[in-house]
């Protein structure tokens, strides 16, 4: 994970600050997950403020991606969002900065549904699509096809 979001404590000396930006989708480390494709950038809009001996960070985090529908098996586009991102950090535990990257990653991953369902599959008129195989049937008959044509007298 090369991209990081660090919040330096000295930037908050004059009050709350707004953190707004993007992290690459690679932060989620989902490249090898066959049920997730086309992960876009993680967008965040956070407010950080000092409250007594803590730093309070709150806001929204979201990431566009394609998920495999658990009903149809087809991929659909969606935005995974944490609209109530809220974390607090004890100032005594910090070393001059906070790395928010892991918490943002966790917020997105937790909100990916375990069994995602596309909007089309939620419809009461939904019919599971037939999976077409573009394979041609084997033109050579099997060894058993000769027995299918055999007329034996009934005993």
Res. 134 pLDDT band, cuts 50 70 90: low
| Domain containing residue 18 | 6-126
pLDDT at position 35 is 93
pTM of the model: 0.74
* Count of structural domains, the chain: 1
CA distance 7 to 46: 11
In a domain, 38, yes or no: yes
CA distance 7 to 62: 19
CA distance 126 to 131: 15
pLDDT at position 1 is 47
In a domain, 150, yes or no: no
With tokens 């999976």, the residue in question is: 131
In a domain, 142, yes or no: no
In a domain, 141, yes or no: no
Q: Are strands 36-37 and 54-68 parallel, antiparallel or unpaired?
A: antiparallel
Cβ contact 38:65 at 8 Å: yes
- Tell me the per-residue pLDDT of 75-129, one tens digit each, with 9 for 90 and over: 999 999 999 999 999 888 878 888 999 999 999 999 999 999 998 887 777 776 6
Give the total residue count for the chain: 155
């Amino acid at each position: 994970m090369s991209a990081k979001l660090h919040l330096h404590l000295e930037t908050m000396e004059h009050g709350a600050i707004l953190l707004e930006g993007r992290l690459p989708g690679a932060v989620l480390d989902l490249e090898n997950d066959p049920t997730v494709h086309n992960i876009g950038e993680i967008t965040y809009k956070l407010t950080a403020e000092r409250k007594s001996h803590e730093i309070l960070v709150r806001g929204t985090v979201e990431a566009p991606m394609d998920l495999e529908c658990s009903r149809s098996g087809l991929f659909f586009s969606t935005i995974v969002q944490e609209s109530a991102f809220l974390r607090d950090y004890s100032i005594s535990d910090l070393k001059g900065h906070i790395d928010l990257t892991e918490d943002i990653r966790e917020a997105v991953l937790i909100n990916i549904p375990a069994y995602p369902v596309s909007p089309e599959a939620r419809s009461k008129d939904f019919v599971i699509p037939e999976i077409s195989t573009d394979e041609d049937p084997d033109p050579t008959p099997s060894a058993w096809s000769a027995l299918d044509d055999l007329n034996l007298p009934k005993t």
